[in-house]
Structure 1
């Protein structure tokens, strides 16, 4: 009986492990390259940014109220840091089968209406978001390019006030990139991402 219970517990542990999503990258990890379709119909890869010093990868979407509140700030981040070598790469990880407003066609409309000048990529399978360990929209990963590849330097929120950009007194992403550009490590490497849960594609 004791042997049977041990076997059952072992089986349950294996099932739980298999069902658990991957933990994703942590600060200090090097990320794998990815290729996703942009709203202009062209594929975009991380490796295509040959001259970049890093990247601001933001998992976001059309439909989440938090993502909408941060859209103008995301646009501003790209304008501020693209020329300095840290472009924004926005990725929508929501399954359009569950969230019709996050379909590719709706992404194209949103990008046009808001005048996005950065890639807005569709990750309908959620494979890239899972690899990164993203759980919310928006969820930011700041990458710094080194000889070995792109290294994660910061994970979390854009700032500390989702309701009002002007009231934010801790601008995590701006501060982290400024520190990286000065040859330093970010003082804050992780913060809590505030937003909607990702609508994962069911297997």
Structure 2
């Protein structure tokens, strides 16, 4: 097999994967899902119909996640949940990855960080992450009470792993929730997510 042919095959595979993982469109219904939390309890999106919901993809081994868990993510979570917003943190890291944490370990890590998420969900097979087109940790989504996806993208406007860059950054999730809870449309509904690539289980 020639190098050119191999390159063409790989490119086709990448395009196919990209198409298969196409993110849902903001303004359309958020994909339904069901997953177990770190305590083994089932959680499904439909449980929270009528509420605003935030989805956050997490990997404790990622420096971008650690940047925001220096206090920024917890403060954003608390600001949301104090106002009745449901916050679901999701791990789509495959069990074979060195970054994988078992449910009890991930739950303990969240507790050690004083996280304010409503629930932390295990997505070992990556079905939830793929349904949303989640690619990085963190990757953030906001769903309105009607079940419509109204925000998708980054936690904030400074795509670095430096804690010092949090100050002065626009927190897109907080901004979106502030606007929604005030009865306004989300002014910045889509941004480019940044962080570590999610280590998905091989779909093949």
Band the TM-score falls in, shorter-chain normalisation: 0.7 to 0.9
Deviation at 1:102, TM superposition (A): 2.8
Deviation at 1:44, TM superposition (A): 1.3
Once the two structures are superposed, what CA deviation does each residue of 1:127-179 show, in whole Å capped at 9, x if it has no partner? 10110011100000011112xxx111111111123523652331211111111
Stretches of 4+ aligned residues off by more than 3 angstroms: 11-21
Look up the match of 1:95.
94
In structure 1, runs of 5+ residues without a counterpart are 1-10
Look up the match of 1:136.
136
Deviation at 1:12, TM superposition (A): 10
Look up the match of 1:7.
none
Is contact 1:31-1:152 (8 Å) kept? yes
Aligned length: 189
Look up the match of 1:156.
153
Q: How does 1:40-79 map to 2 (within 5 A)?
A: 40-50=39-49, 52=51, 54-71=52-69, 72-79=71-78
In structure 2, runs of 5+ residues without a counterpart are 1-8
Look up the match of 1:169.
169
> What is the rounded CA distance, in whole Å, between the counterparts of 2:10 and 2:167 in structure 1?
48
Bigger Cα displacement from structure 2, 17-26 vs 117-126: 17-26
CA distance 1:12–1:136, shift in 2 (3 Å): closer
Normalized against structure 2, the TM-score is what? 0.82
> What is the rounded CA distance, in whole Å, between the counterparts of 1:76 and 1:96 in structure 2?
29
> What is the rounded CA distance, in whole Å, between the counterparts of 1:15 and 1:165 in structure 2?
36
Deviation at 1:40, TM superposition (A): 2.0
Normalized against structure 1, the TM-score is what? 0.82
CA distance 1:60–1:16, shift in 2 (3 Å): closer
Look up the match of 1:104.
103
Once the two structures are superposed, what CA deviation does each residue of 1:44-83 show, in whole Å capped at 9, x if it has no partner? 111222552x111111112111111112322212211213
Q: Please give the secondary structure, in 2, of the residue aligned with 1:167.
A: coil
Q: Which has the larger radius of gyration?
A: 1
